[in-house]
Amino acid sequence: MRTSRTLWLLAFVVALVALLAVACGDDDGDGNGGEATATPQDVEPTAAEPFDVANVPGVTDTEITLGTHQPLSNHPAQVFSRIAAVTEAYFDFINETQGGVHGRKINVIVKDDQYTPSITNTVIRELVEQDGVFAILSGLGTATHLTVVDYLLDRGVPDMFMSTGSVEWVKDPAARPNVFGAIPNYTAEGMILAQYISDTYPAGTKLGIIFQNDEFGLDGVVGIKRALSDDIEIVAEESYEVTDPDINSQIDLTRSAGSDVVIIYALPSHVPSAVRHARQDLDWDVPFVITGISANEITINLAGEGVMEGTVSVSIFHQVSEVEHPGIIAHLELLADYTDGFGANFLTIYGQYIGELMVETLERAGPELTREGLIAAAESITDFVCSVCLFSVNLSATDHDSAQTVSLSQVVDNQFVNFGDLISWEGVLPGDLTLDDLVTSPAE
């Protein structure tokens, strides 16, 4: 027993001595070895200093390195895993045809976070501290991205065009100047869907709501309640957890509550089986209204032929069904030339939109690329319409919400088709948004 105690004492003394030595050594070495230990903030060039590409993490004279966290495994991967691959394909296209942006080729490191926040934490630090990326592009998922958003702010890393419509990010650009949204925020979307229900169905209609019990679902419900006419009665509000395998019992509950219309705020992993359960198991022909997150061709295919028919949602892009549209034609060519033969769907279009938006931002940031410059460039974007978009991106120092215009869409012959006017709330942040702010304009 005595030896063991001596051992620990020895270990402790050694530790103490080493700590002192190291601490002093570092102090001395700060003058010459400071660069190796300096954090990225320390080496950001200030306005007064001349531009030196060596001081900007992730940027060289020939390359820009971006990073992102995406679910490539675990259950949402079946739906979401191709978004980043299409963004990469678009960058490959730009690199090959235009030699990149301002002579720099764009390179994205895609890290799999398995849609699990504890892993997102690790991969984002790996991207920032080990791979030294210039910016994070379109990190996907609300709960996952939440865990890193403050870290990115703390480290001064631009958090560009994230793939979540959570209200939290974009409601206060002053508090989070490095964060930019990419998709309509869920509250605005909920208001537009509720307005559609109020306009379409007669007074006395009973509405059932099914929502994911997190920020995604709750933001949507806030929007629904804000815009729903008094003539429509909410008879059921059923929540589920993202870890639940399906939401069939929530469908049963909304049915037994006597719903005439059901609105679903759920991920594409839950919506198809829910609609199929209603149609095929219950033989219930209730109209469904779903969040734009789930409004894509994968959902239709997973549900099965004809099952999703008539379902209403929102869209910010031209649909794959518009085969004559030049943007869609170009998109199909991109998929054919730069991917392993991906089939086009709403999410591949989304991947291209992220790529186009980022390229536009980099173009505006100019050849002297810095992180501050990138954020300023993004804030300067006005009237930018991507090749597949229905809307124009307008950003400013007080508005970091990129997509503020949607169209309604509906499943017709197993494809989503846009219908009606464009509905826009340009420049209004989700916290203040009311029905009066929604402006309609005819679609082209």
Partner 1 sequence: MAAALLRPRTLGFALLAVVLVIFPYLHGWPVFSAFISEFRTFNATMLAVWLLVVLSMNLLTGYSGQISLGHAAVVLVGAYTAGVLVDQLGVPLPLAILLAGVFTGIAGGVIIGLPAVRLAGPYLAIATFSLVITLPQILKMGGIRNWTNPSRGISIDAVQPPGLVDGFLDERQWLYYITMATAVFMTILAWNLVRSRIGRAFVALRDSEIAAEQMGINVPLYKALAFGISSFYAGIAGGLYFMVLAFVHPESLGFLDSILFLVAIVVGGLATILGSIFGAFFLTFQGELIDELATIIPEAEKLRGVIYGSLLIVVMILFPRGMAGFVQDLVRTLGRITAARRHGGLSSNPPAQDDTNGESDAQGR
In the complex, minimum distance from the CB of residue 181 to partner 1, in angstroms, rounded to a whole number: 16
Q: Smaller CB distance to partner 1: residue 124 or 408?
A: 124
| Burial of 130 from C-beta contacts in 10 A (0-12 / 13-18 / 19+) | exposed
Contact between 118 and partner 1 by CB under 8 A: the answer reads: yes
Contact 439, 430 (CB under 8 A): no
Contact between 146 and partner 1 by CB under 8 A: the answer reads: yes
Contact between 54 and partner 1 by CB under 8 A: the answer reads: no
Contact between 55 and partner 1 by CB under 8 A: the answer reads: no
In the complex, minimum distance from the CB of residue 128 to partner 1, in angstroms, rounded to a whole number: 8
Q: Rounded CA gap, 72 and 11, in Å?
A: 44
Q: How many CA atoms within 13 Å lie on the side-chain side of 97?
A: 9
Contact between 74 and partner 1 by CB under 8 A: the answer reads: yes
In the complex, minimum distance from the CB of residue 246 to partner 1, in angstroms, rounded to a whole number: 14
Is the torsion defined by CA of 425, 428, 430, 436 positive or negative?
A: negative
Q: How far is CA 331 from CA 85, 351, 356, 378, 411, in A?
A: 13, 10, 12, 24, 21
Contact between 329 and partner 1 by CB under 8 A: the answer reads: no
Residues 166-205 vs partner 1: string with x where CB under 8 A? --x-------------------------------------
Contact between 41 and partner 1 by CB under 8 A: the answer reads: no
Residues 335-374 vs partner 1: string with x where CB under 8 A? ----------------------------------------
Q: Which residues contact 310 (CB under 8 A, 6 or more apart)?
A: 287, 288, 410, 411
Q: Tell me which of 15, 54, 203, 443 binds partner 1, using CB under 8 A.
A: 15
Q: Tell me which of 65, 68, 81, 138 binds partner 1, using CB under 8 A.
A: 81
In the complex, minimum distance from the CB of residue 216 to partner 1, in angstroms, rounded to a whole number: 9
Burial call 243-260: b when 16+ CB within 10 Å, e when fewer: eeebbbebbbbbbebebb
- Long-range CB contacts (< 8 A, 24+ apart) of 118-127? 118/147, 120/69, 120/144, 120/145, 120/147, 120/148, 121/147, 121/148, 121/151, 123/69, 124/67, 124/69, 124/148, 124/151, 124/152, 125/151, 127/67, 127/69
In the complex, minimum distance from the CB of residue 293 to partner 1, in angstroms, rounded to a whole number: 17
Q: Smaller CB distance to partner 1: residue 6 or 434?
A: 6
Q: Smaller CB distance to partner 1: residue 142 or 410?
A: 142
Which residues here bind partner 1, judged by CB under 8 A? 3, 6-8, 10-12, 14-15, 18-19, 22-23, 25-27, 29, 33, 36-37, 39, 72-74, 77, 81, 111-112, 114, 116-119, 121-123, 125-126, 128-130, 143, 146-147, 150-151, 154, 168, 213-215, 218, 241-243
